[in-house]
């Protein structure tokens, strides 16, 4: 029986890959990478390409970008079956995920199924650098200090809930802003907080963009984008 490693590979810069992740990628014979659709490019693969053993077999796992729970559960189960089949051959397997596995990662859903249906398989989660800590470093801002609170949000279906978070947290990270950017901006504008925000997209990539004046945001929203609000100011 092989072992499953779920590895966070950071937000995009291969230099932010941990030593532990590098060692496991070098030694694992089966590597599974997430893609949003068949034939789509994989940022995770771009990050780890130079760290994979030449003898490793690389398999794409489709995690469709859908809000349909049935579609997602079907994909999770299919991917779980592929990975469990691999580790039962005796090979160690690696499932990589962008950022950190514990933070909005579909890889954790595969781990959930593994624990439920294949508890005999040993699993290990290897943390990675999150996109928002990397983005804060690139933007030159401190997320929290002293007794300040930090909120990380990624779903904006309830504007009232989002407003309550803005009102009570000292620092708020808005992930995946491409879906509801205008709603977020309107809330921030109504509270006079636009000048206390920074926008970061493609953190760690060649196309990285950092904008401190939210009035200058590009018309098109980027999937890999976020807004960080510091209510006490960015300085």
Specify the pLDDT at position 1: 83
Which segments of the chain have a pLDDT < 50? none
CATH superfamily, domain 3-126, is: Tetrapyrrole methylase, N-terminal domain (3.40.1010.10)
Q: Which CATH number is 131-230 given?
A: 3.30.950.10
In the chain, CATH 3.30.950.10 sits at 131-230
Q: Which of 99, 117, 82, 80 is nearest to 7 (CA)?
A: 99
Residue 37: the pLDDT is 79
The pTM assigned to this predicted structure is 0.89
- The pLDDT of residue 221 is 85
**Cα 97 from Cα 189, distance rounded (Å):** 34
**Model confidence over 176-194: pLDDT tens digits?**
888 889 999 999 999 999 9
Residues 6+ apart with CB under 8 A from 117: 80, 84
| pLDDT for res 145 | 94
Buried b (16+ CB within 10 A) or exposed e, 61-75: bebeeeeeeeebeeb
Give the pLDDT score at 205: 84
């Amino acid at each position: 029986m092989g072992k499953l490693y779920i590895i966070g590979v950071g937000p995009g810069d291969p230099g932010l890959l941990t030593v532990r992740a590098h060692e496991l990628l070098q030694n694992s014979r089966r590597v599974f990478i997430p893609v949003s659709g068949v034939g789509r490019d994989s940022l995770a693969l771009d990050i780890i390409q130079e760290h994979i053993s030449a003898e490793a077999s690389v398999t794409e796992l489709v995690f469709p970008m859908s809000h349909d729970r049935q579609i997602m559960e079907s994909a999770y189960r299919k991917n779980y079956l592929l990975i469990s089949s691999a580790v039962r051959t005796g090979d160690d397997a690696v499932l990589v995920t962008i950022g950190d596995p514990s933070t909005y990662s579909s890889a954790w859903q595969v781990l959930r199924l593994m624990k439920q249906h294949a508890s005999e398989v040993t699993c290990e989660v290897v943390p990675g650098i999150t996109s928002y800590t990397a983005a804060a470093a690139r933007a030159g801002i401190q997320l929290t200090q002293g007794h300040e609170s930090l909120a990380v949000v990624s779903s904006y279906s309830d504007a009232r809930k989002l407003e309550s978070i803005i009102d009570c947290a000292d620092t708020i990270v808005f992930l995946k802003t491409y879906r509801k950017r205008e709603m977020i901006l309107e809330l921030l504008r109504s509270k006079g907080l636009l000048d206390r925000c920074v926008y970061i997209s493609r953190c760690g990539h060649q196309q990285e963009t950092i904008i401190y004046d939210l009035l200058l945001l590009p018309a098109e929203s980027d999937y890999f984008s976020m807004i960080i609000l510091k209510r006490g100011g960015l300085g």
